[in-house]
Amino acid sequence: MSQEFIPTRVFYEPGALEYPLGEGLVQRFRHMGIPVSPTTSHNRITGIPGNTAAAQYREAKRTLVIGVRRSQAFQSCKPSAHYQLPLVTSCPGMCEYCYLATTLGKKPYVRIYVNLEEILGIASKLIEERLPEITQFEGAATSDPVPVERYTGSLKQAIEFFGREPNGRFRFVTKYTDIESLLDAKHGGHTRFRFSLNCSEVVKNYEHGTPSPEDRIIAAGKVLKAGYPLGFIIAPIFRFEGWREEYRRLMERTAEELAKRAPSGWSSEQLTLEFISHRFTSKAKANILGVFPNSSLPMEEDERKFKYGQFGYGKYIYQPEEMKEMKEFFLEQAKDYFPLAQVEYFV
Ligand code: SF4
């Protein structure tokens, strides 16, 4: 199934027209027959229809906003990187558990920023400030940047920018497989291309509008063949009937595909693995049930352990003995299928 993102409506900030990318995109969407209207700010969009939270969410996910990123500051992105690289906000996927549904409010419309040269200019300065240290940037902290890449080409430009930066490194994560245009980018080994993976059961039930795990694995094989440093985030990990076997098969199939595609001399030492167990906050639960009233996500507080967070809110994680069991299981899988991979964490 094609996961091509074609917005239902497009908004643009008039300032975006001062950039060739912004002007080109407005023309392109008009040409496609998509309603395109101006908006005063990419932060305040009115005109997304829907009478219920669920309808507003769905419509927002089909709305694209072309904006200019004015802020000179990049958010920090501890612990995985030093800074976020703001290219895109939100994504057209509709994963029930997505934390962006909580952080971006009720209408998580997709935003792209057309002043890429200015954004990369800020990245240059930040790299310079930390010399001779290496500075890491994360391109997917508030989005999945791949679905809009076919319109913007921004990810490719960012990858090539970091390819030329001896002291800058880039990383992002995606569930999407429309990555052909990135395969010939001159990445210089400075971008870690990560895929978010989960077993079919989870993708089918909760990750609406995203490619199948099989398609993601095939895309990862192509990325590996293109010489990128590769990584996988297995998340969120759920316990359900047969979870061990499902996750084992996922790891096995991934290893098989990578073995077929790996360039000569590649070893799993160059692979990173991140494991994140499912967790939720009370606020997220309320939001999720507003948008997906029939959600079958396991969110029974009584079954979980409450863990206090830094900012006065806490999250519900699996019970300690369950966590221990899951951690052991995934570390064992990693060892079996990717014996030398760097396991960055299990949380
Ligand atoms: S693909 Fe990622 S960013 Fe998009 S809805 Fe799913 S979890 Fe959220």
Specify the pLDDT at position 311: 67
Kind and range of the H or E run holding 213: helix 213-225
Q: Please tell me if the CB atom of residue 177 comes closer than 6 angstroms to any atom of ligand 1.
A: no
Q: In angstroms, rounded to a whole number, what is the distance separating the alpha carbons of residues 339 and 269? A: 8
How far lies 233's CA from each of 46, 82, 121, 173, 347, in Å?
35, 19, 29, 8, 11
Low-confidence ranges of the chain (pLDDT < 70): 1-2, 311-312
Q: Three-class SS of residue 51?
A: coil
149-177 pLDDT, tens per residue? 999 999 999 999 999 999 999 999 999 99
Q: Please tell me if the CB atom of residue 144 comes closer than 6 angstroms to any atom of ligand 1.
A: yes
Specify the pLDDT at position 2: 56
Residue 65 · residue 39 · CB < 8 Å: yes
pTM of the entire predicted model? 0.96
Structure tokens at 276: 């994140």
User: Domain map of the chain by residue range?
Assistant: 1-195, 198-278+318-347
Task: Give me ligand 1 centre to Cα 291, in Å.
Answer: 15
Q: Please tell me if the CB atom of residue 148 comes closer than 6 angstroms to any atom of ligand 1.
A: no
For ligand 1, atom 7, the nearest C-alpha belongs to 98
Q: In angstroms, rounded to a whole number, what is the distance separating the alpha carbons of residues 62 and 109? A: 7
CATH class, range 198-278+318-347: alpha beta
Q: Please tell me if the CB atom of residue 211 comes closer than 6 angstroms to any atom of ligand 1.
A: no
CATH architecture of the region 1-195: 3-Layer(aba) Sandwich (3.40)
Kindly report the backbone phi and psi dihedral angles of residue 28, in degrees, each rounded to the nearest multiple of 5, phi listed first.
-60, -45
By C-alpha distance, which of 138, 114, 150 is closest to 193? Answer: 138
How far lies 277's CA from each of 82, 117, 147, 188, 322, in Å?
23, 37, 25, 33, 10
DSSP codes, 70-114:
---PPPB-TTT-SEE--SEEB-S-EETT-THHHHT-S---EEEES
Q: Please tell me if the CB atom of residue 95 comes closer than 6 angstroms to any atom of ligand 1.
A: yes
DSSP codes, 12-25:
E-GGGGGSHHHHHH
Helix axes 320-337, 243-261, angle to 10 degrees: 30
Specify the pLDDT at position 63: 97
Task: Give me ligand 1 centre to Cα 92, in Å.
Answer: 8
Specify the pLDDT at position 42: 74
Specify the pLDDT at position 1: 47
Specify the pLDDT at position 52: 92
Residue 12 · residue 112 · CB < 8 Å: no
CB contact burial 169-180 (16+ within 10 A = b; e otherwise): bbbbbbbbbbbe
